[in-house]
Chain A
Amino acid sequence: MSLDKRITLQQAAEIIKDGSSLTFSGFTIWRRPMAIVFELIRQHRKHLHLIEVNGGSHTEFLVGAGCADIWESCWVGHELYGKYGANVSRKVGNKELIVEDYSHAEMMFRFAAAANGSPYAVTQTSLGTDIHNPEYDMLGRAGLRDGKRIAKHKYQFTEDPFFGAGSQVLIPAAKVDIAVLCVQQVGEEGTVRVNGQFYSDPEVARAADITIVMAEEIVPEEYLRRNADQNTIATFEVNHILECPYGAHPTGMFGRYDVDGSFLKDFYGRTRTQEGFDDFANEWIHGQSHMSYLEKLGWPRMLKLKANTALNYSVREKGGK
């Protein structure tokens, strides 16, 4: 590994190949690596396998643009700005997308297992639900369970052999090629400091074979190492870094800027159809760079979203109002 981990936005997207499995930092509409997502769409990436603790606006963009064949997760939508994932919904209806449903805790525990090198996790969640309906193993139905990157089984039941606690569900580790993170700060050598809730970032970074960290700012390592107890992810878990201010927009970044609710409402309202999505992508993604995108958004809009440094959220904007 080269000592210099810095790459460009374009290079970050190029590391993700057609057919790669991919996961992300953040939670629903918070700290999603949108600038890289937009670059993947510009580069017409295909056949991605998205495997994530939860989906959100970034999922909707990648799926709407036809970049993904498989979405393996538990939830997609835009929270209060769009009550479901209209692009996922349309593509699963048209059989253009395979959706493999797990529960939220199952997805989290699957990543935790991958992060600590275990082949599977054990849990008691979701017993008796259709998540465990054997007819609804969609990757199995598609003949994709090769036992290599995609587990041989969606889940297995077992009885607790140690304490007689009854039924247990075994769920496979979430083996994933690349994790793309979007955080407040990364050091020159890759130390990551997340402010606010870190969601499932430490586990997804550790689970992935390659971890790319896009930060609001690259800061001196020495600065982060002065308070190592405040750091979230260690250098050697990170392969590549890049600086990209406002790289999470339209999702939010704790302490820096809020979710752009009106942008997400507009996206949700306009992308129920493929024509609508393509029109939206032509307006905001294709032919743009990150800088021209920010210019198009404009200062007044970004200032409205800017977080108050004492409160960590914007006092000019709440819930798109």
Chain B
Amino acid sequence: MAIEYATPEEYGLADLMCCAAAREVQDNEVVFAGTGLPMVAIMLAQKTHAPNLKLIFEAGTLDGRPPEIPTSVGDARCEMGASRSSGLYDAFSIAQRGYVDLGFLGGAEVDEYGNVNTTCIGDYLNPELRLTGSGGNPDINSFAKRTVFIMVHEKRRFTPNVSYITSPGWRVKKWPGGEFVHRRELYGAAYRGGPSAVISTAGVFRFDEQSGRIYLDTCHPGKSPAEIKDMCHFDLDISRANGETLPPTREELYIIHEVLDPEQIFVPKVNKG
């Protein structure tokens, strides 16, 4: 069957981000996903090109096959069809042991080395706004071979200095001094990789493993590299820009809206017609 891509009237940004994220998954990979769009993306991959992926939810579900989207990783739906239902000690031990190929995460701020903040806005000791805190973000990002971040794109969120490094990117702080070093130097035998992509509401970004710096890969339809560069407070490398992000297919939209999330809990249905 020929692939039918949806027209711009048929999908929204959340659809586009989920599909772009799902395409980061390869079949048979072990994938760790958090609540929200990361969960939709991974289950979309499971129901399309990666039917044998092994899905781990942080609360303790190992190789789950939920028929529809759970409302959070603690939900009863998580463990439907799972190989094992257990707890957080297992989930994090498995991650630290090195089983996880890919993690899907979110974030409030990101810097040009992929350091992500989910802890606070402003000075940590006198925060303007305290956020949720780390959750498993740094753990999955420390242990997985690759991590993909799904984020809202606002200029203030793409910053040279995040308020707090919650989750480690490619160049991280070496304590006690706090000087930036390549993560390879800190992680020793536990070094397996790092952030591989950021999928925002504007485009898809990747990282140069050697320099650790972010660059623009694809622009979402309607955005130009220059526009996206202007949407970052750091100096975004657009020299490797590689055209437009592929739109969702009709099959992917069907799975998102009719199978996974018909209640529109995480992905609103778009009808621009």
Contacts and interface: CB of A to CB of B under 8 A. Distances in A.
Interface of A: 26-30, 53-55, 73-77, 79-80, 83-85, 88-89, 92-93, 99, 101-106, 108-109, 112, 123-136, 157, 160, 163-167, 196-203, 252, 254-255, 258-259, 261, 307, 311-313, 318-319, 321
A199 B87 contact: yes
Given A124-B96, A126-B142, A318-B263, A307 B166 contact: no
B132 A127 contact: no
Contacts of B172: 127-129
A11 to B, nearest CB: 29
B74 A199 contact: yes
Contacts of A163: 189
Q: Is the interface of A mostly helix, strand, loop or mixed?
A: loop
Contacts, number: 221
**8 closest A-B pairs (Cβ-Cβ)?**
A166-B188, A128-B172, A165-B189, A30-B74, A319-B265, A105-B139, A124-B190, A89-B130
Given A28-B74, A76-B132, A163-B189, A125 B88 contact: no
B79 A196 contact: yes
Contacts of B61: 197
A163 B190 CA distance: 12
Nearest to B178: A133
B77 interface: yes
A303 B271 CA distance: 34
A85 B132 CA distance: 6
B21 interface: no
B132 A77 contact: yes
A103 to B, nearest CB: 5
Interface string B158-185: 0000001111100011111010010100
A160 B134 CA distance: 26
B263 to A, nearest CB: 5
Contacts of A128: 165, 168, 172-175, 181, 183, 186-187
B268 to A, nearest CB: 12
B71 interface: yes
A126 B139 CA distance: 6
A121 to B, nearest CB: 11
B119 A130 contact: yes
Contacts of A197: 59-61, 74, 78-79, 85-87
B36 A80 contact: yes
B99 to A, nearest CB: 14
6 contacts: A79-B72, A80-B35, A80-B36, A84-B131, A129-B168, A312-B76
Contact of A131 (B86, B88, B134): B134
B130 A130 contact: no
Contacts of A75: 132-135
Given A319-B71, A321-B265, A127 B142 contact: yes
A127 B59 contact: no
A202 B142 CA distance: 25
A312 B77 CA distance: 8
A129 B183 contact: no
Contacts of B115: 129
A101 B266 CA distance: 28
Contact of B263 (A28, A196, A319): A319
- Chain B CB count within 10 A is highest, among A29, A105, A135, for A105
A254 B76 contact: yes
A133 B173 contact: yes
Given A80-B36, A104-B88, A203-B87, 10 more contacts: A28-B59, A74-B135, A99-B133, A124-B96, A126-B142, A126-B168, A129-B173, A160-B189, A196-B79, A313-B76
A130 B124 contact: yes
A58 to B, nearest CB: 13
